[in-house]
């Protein structure tokens, strides 16, 4: 377990698959009953968020292999691998016990825009001259 009681599997899963607290809550909602399908509108009502916001988060969850889409707009928890499923279950358990820590890990992730900006200023050695 890490310093804050969150194991490395959960930390890695958050880093690679969870971009926001809204995305986490949608994933947890879908995970509570894996056989149920949800529309963005139903998720929005359940979590009291905007349907367009739910749609954006669902699209990201599909892209990360955690959720499937049955067109036109039925989404279901269906990780592409047993490892993803196990990590999602571990995340749900960690969220129950250490909610504030999990949220903190999500917010402490460097954003892609910040990372791209800092990469632009990364110092690199010039190749040796012949």
pLDDT in tens, 24-79: 999 999 999 999 999 999 999 999 999 999 999 999 999 999 999 999 999 999 99
SS3 63: helix
Element (H, E) at 86: helix 82-97
CA 55, CA 51: separation in Å to the nearest integer? Answer: 6
If one looks up domain 8-120 in CATH, what number appears? 1.10.10.10
Cα 105 vs. chain centroid, distance in angstroms?
11
The residue extents of the domains of the chain are 8-120
What is the pTM (predicted TM-score) of this model? 0.80
Amino acid 30: pLDDT: 97
Euclidean distance between CA atoms 129 and 15, whole angstroms: 40
Which residues are CB-neighbours of 50 under 8 A, at least 6 positions away? 44
């Amino acid at each position: 377990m890490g310093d804050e009681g969150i194991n490395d599997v959960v930390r890695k899963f958050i880093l690679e698959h969870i971009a926001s607290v809204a995305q986490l809550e949608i994933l947890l909602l879908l995970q509570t009953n894996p056989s149920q399908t949800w529309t963005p509108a139903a998720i929005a009502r359940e979590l009291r968020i905007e349907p367009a916001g739910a749609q954006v988060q669902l699209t990201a969850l599909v892209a990360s292999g955690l959720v499937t889409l049955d067109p036109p707009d039925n989404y279901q928890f269906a990780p592409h691998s047993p490892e993803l499923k196990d990590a999602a279950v571990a995340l749900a358990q960690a969220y129950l016990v250490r909610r504030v820590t999990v949220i903190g890990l999500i917010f402490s992730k460097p954003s892609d825009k910040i990372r791209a900006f800092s990469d632009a200023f990364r110092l690199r050695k010039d190749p040796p001259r012949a």
